[in-house]
Structure 1
Amino acid sequence: MNADERRFEVLRAIVADYVSNQEPVGSKALVERHNLGVSSATVRNDMAALEDEGYIAQPHTSAGRVPTDKGYRLFVDKLSEIKPLSTAEKRAIRSFLDGALDLDDVMRRSVRLLAQLTRQVAVIQVPTLSRAAVRHLEVLPITPSRLMLVLITDTGRVDQRIVELGDVISEEDTAHLRGMLNQAMSGQRLTDASVRVAELPDEVRQDLRDPMLRVATVLIETLVEHPEERLVLGGTANLTRNVADFPGSLRQVLEALEEQVIVLKLLAASRDPGRVLVRIGEENEAAEMRSTSVVSIGYGSRDNPLGGLGVVGPTRMDYPGTMAAVRAVANYVGEILTGR
């Protein structure tokens, strides 16, 4: 092992101890707790070199050292492979997310799960409608003059709407409307589907024109609604467990999390479902987030990216475990919503 490799092992040991104990780490403790295979004098020299290079720093009140943002960055960059979760953990994630009823439930469950796994704040971007396509439209008669429309998109969104027809319609005619609507809409992006639906009242028999017009009006409202991009957050209270991790800035961080635009910007960079992105401390553009680290990834598929999800926490976090949890949850959410 050359000097650089040995120094990295010392840095790795400092990161491990500081993340688990929250206490600055001294050379004596490192030699006692880690099998570094060198004397405490060598460890002291290595720590002095790491400090000179800006990878560790000495808090003014203590003889020990703590990792800097630069030190965490080197540590993260040298994680050659993200440790996969155990089979039991994967099974628990899958069974928890498989129980979800609809898109909103998938989102809520995902952040709750990610916050529990990482003990940080979890955020997920709700898939934006503009990228969604119609998977299926169910048309169900509730009474002879009232229909329920259930629109299902390929992002897992389920919308239900009631249509008052003002007149009685037979089951046979209901089936005819259902067939025409699905033929026009299935597989279409929502905006294209709304254009097709608008043409249908002119294409049906005269006696079905009025019911089709009513159905089309309700559907177009549903299809072209574009709520602003939304975030679902979970586990905000986790930040308050260790206030010392955010010297003088915890309130700023909490306010920034409420400013959805800041977090959406952070997640916007995470479009790739294959790559976990880690932003540490000063690497975050938003000044309010510079005492935090953000671990994020895209979910969906490369052809159909649906959004980003991730975790916000202090720079003193378990990076390997957090990265593994973020990637695993993103995989399952992507599978559920793209129907793989």
Structure 2
Amino acid sequence: MAGTADARRQEVLRAIVADFISRQEPVGSKALLERHHLPVSSATIRNDMAVLESEGFIMQQHASSGRIPTEKGYRAFVDSLQSVKPMSLPEKRAVMSFLEEGVDLEDVLKRAVQLLAQFTRQAAVIQVPTLTNARVKHCEVVALSPRRLLLVLITDTGRVDQRNVELLELIDDSQVHLLRELLNSALQGKTMMDASDSLAELAGAVPPDMAEHVRRSATTLIETLVEQPSDRLIMAGASNLTRGQSTASLPGIIEALEEQVVVLKLMADLPALGDVAVHIGGENRDEELHSTSVVATAYGGEGTTLGGLGVVGPTYMDYPGTISRVSAVAGYVGRILSGE
């Protein structure tokens, strides 16, 4: 296609996709002319639709029915978007006021994913920040008994991790206080990856009566937080997938989301901060998601990605609206976690 005919057919394709997204029913040439006031004849529209069908952008389910978009058609539609629908002012206010009420990191993330599912009417997921990029703000040490400690690690992203340490020797209050100071001297301001070397060296540079306590505490932190970082997702709105999905594909989609492995792989391949990735149907590497589209982005602050969030929904989702909401919620989450 070239020139005027090319531009017109792109407009026809956009109109078909937009109509099918809003109505979920095949689109005919007469309906296109009536709804979009295209300045051409019905015969020209039918010819354009025939060309678009031959090129794989649309398809006809039955001989007498209208056309529906294919995955190629959705991709062309998404790639042609010059702008996306901005969130309404009430939506923006609702996002900020609801997220700002979060009492800690996990509460903020839960609220964000609930809002995203509500706004898009799709399944929404958000990744809890890993410790890879987060820096340690403080390590609290609490004596649960003379032989058992609780280590509470707090990062600059608001993440809180707790670990129990079983001691071989008794520990008194003064040693608990000293252990807290020693661990914080090795941890504060560092990522867990950077701090692991300091922790490993710490046991050899402390008073003999503290060496065993330091060694067991440092080993627990390194083994559980550095060598085995936990990837977790928070999900909301999975029941929204029951709308419009075939009963045959639905169990596989729900199972893939609940197992989280599939979505974690998606979150491992996020676009740069501020960009939004759209994977349509077969573009998703996992077969369980071939009947869905995924819109995902990263959140964070000051150029650092802390995690990802996105939605999973039908291929006929409202792409402009979904992209806008995913991007906006990611921006608000990043601002709150950055303390802006």
* Same-fold status (TM-score > 0.5): yes
2:241 and 2:117 map into 1 onto residues whose CA distance is 11
| Amino acid corresponding to residue 16 of structure 2 in structure 1 | I
Conserved 8 A contact 1:295-1:323: yes
Aligned to 1:291: 291
Conserved 8 A contact 1:145-1:168: no
CA 1:295–1:169: 2 relative to 1, 3 Å: same
2:115 and 2:207 map into 1 onto residues whose CA distance is 51
Conserved 8 A contact 1:58-1:65: yes
Aligned to 1:282: 282
The answer to whether structure 1 residue 189 and structure 2 residue 191 are counterparts is yes
Aligned to 2:74: 72
TM alignment of 1:5-20, pairs within 5 A: 5-20=7-22
Shift of 1:193: 2.5
1:214 and 1:53 map into 2 onto residues whose CA distance is 65
Shift of 1:314: 0.9
TM alignment of 1:224-235, pairs within 5 A: 224=226, 226-235=228-237
3-state SS, counterpart of residue 311 of structure 2: strand
Match of 2:133 among 131, 134, 137: 131
Conserved 8 A contact 2:271-2:277: no
Match of 1:156 among 155, 158, 178: 158
Shift of 1:72: 0.8
Could you tell me the TM-score, scaled by structure 1's length? 0.84
3-state SS, counterpart of residue 111 of structure 2: helix
Aligned to 1:101: 103
Shift of 1:323: 0.4
1:178 and 1:227 map into 2 onto residues whose CA distance is 22
Percent identity of equivalent pairs:
60
Match of 1:22 among 21, 24, 41: 24
- Write out per-residue CA displacement over residues 29-61 of structure 1, whole angstroms, 9 at most, x where no aligned residue: 112222223332222222222222221111127
Structure 1 residue runs without a partner (length 5+) = none
Aligned to 1:309: 309
Could you tell me the TM-score, scaled by structure 2's length? 0.84
Conserved 8 A contact 1:122-1:309: yes
Conserved 8 A contact 2:192-2:225: yes
CA-based RMSD: 3.2
Aligned to 1:336: 336
Shift of 1:319: 0.2
Aligned to 1:85: 87
Structure 2 residue runs without a partner (length 5+) = none
3-state SS, counterpart of residue 103 of structure 2: coil
1:101 and 1:138 map into 2 onto residues whose CA distance is 19
Shift of 1:123: 1.7
Aligned to 1:169: 173
Aligned to 1:249: 249
3-state SS, counterpart of residue 244 of structure 2: helix
Conserved 8 A contact 1:272-1:299: no
3-state SS, counterpart of residue 132 of structure 2: helix
Conserved 8 A contact 2:274-2:297: yes
Shift of 1:279: 1.1
CA 1:27–1:160: 2 relative to 1, 3 Å: same
Conserved 8 A contact 1:194-1:223: no
